[in-house]
Amino acid sequence: MKPIAICQHHPAQGPGYLLDFLNQRALPWRLFRLEDGTPTGMQDYSGVVILGSPASVNDGASWIRREALLVQDALERNKPVLGHCFGGQLLAHVLGAPVRRNPVPQIGWGKVQVTQHADAKRWFGPLRELALFHWHFDTFGIPRRATRVLFGHYCLNKGFAYGPHLGLQSHLEVTAESIRDWCALDGHELLDHAGPSVQTEAQIMHRLDERLALLHQLADRVYTRWIQALSPALAATRPQGGPGWGMALSG
């Protein structure tokens, strides 16, 4: 199997738990940081993961344009794309949907609802509510022919599916280390935007290990569903988790 390309845009916003998942299954991957450049095409990769970024897809930076071309190439070759936060926005942008400022910032742990669509059940199983980690100011529209699979109170469009591709306006890949790093580096945003949609650092850190354990159970299911489209050998891979996996914990 060809490796999975992973695009990282900030030293503190790495692939985190995603690498644990891939390594546990001996799946090959290659990480591209901004200083490494962007792959010129998907011919050498089985899929691509686009991670978060403090940038907006509307900024017009050259690296954003190059990644948009990479995502477009993946779509044309039908190679799966997985977008986390900024990555979800970039996928939506390439598919022709608008990306704009959300009515309010959303930072911290928060519940989202799973839609009734069959595509949502394929990605999230029987769960109707999830507790996810959020840190974003922008939001995406739902692309034409894509399906909204998640929605929230502070941000309507929290996730969409487009065939084997998934765009999320949240983070499944975060770890205790990365959350602590984000609070240390960008904690001023918690104060600058204090309000119902932005948690304090104390609220974010409350029951962190327990919340992350449940988040990573959900990540296992979503990532397992995503890798099924990477290779015929992975098509029969089944999501893991018993009746209680991924139960919401946001209080």
What pTM does this model have? 0.93
CA distance 168 to 97: 14
Reference 198, options 114, 84, 103; nearest CA is 103
pLDDT band at 59 (very low <50, low <70, confident <90, very high): very high
Q: Give the CATH architecture of domain 4-234.
A: 3-Layer(aba) Sandwich (3.40)
Domain boundaries, the chain: 4-234
CA distance 192 to 114: 30
Q: Write the DSSP symbol of residue 3.
A: P
- Strand, coil or helix: 17: helix
Q: Which pLDDT belongs to residue 66?
A: 97
Distance, C-alpha 178 to centroid of its chain? 14
| Residue 250: pLDDT over 60 | no
First to last CA, the chain: 41
pLDDT (tens digit per residue) in 22-52:
999 999 999 999 999 999 999 999 999 999 9
> What's the token pair of residue 142?
């739902």
| Residue 244: pLDDT over 70 | no
- Strand, coil or helix: 200: coil
| Range list of β-strands (E), the chain | 4-7, 29-32, 47-50, 81-84, 99-114, 129-140, 147-152, 159-162, 165-168
State what percent of residues in the chain have pLDDT above 70: 93
The type of residue at 188 is H
Cβ-Cβ contacts under 8 Å for 42 (sequence gap 6 or more): 5, 48, 70, 73, 74, 77, 79
CA distance 141 to 103: 13
pLDDT (tens digit per residue) in 170-212:
999 999 999 999 999 999 999 999 999 999 999 999 999 999 9
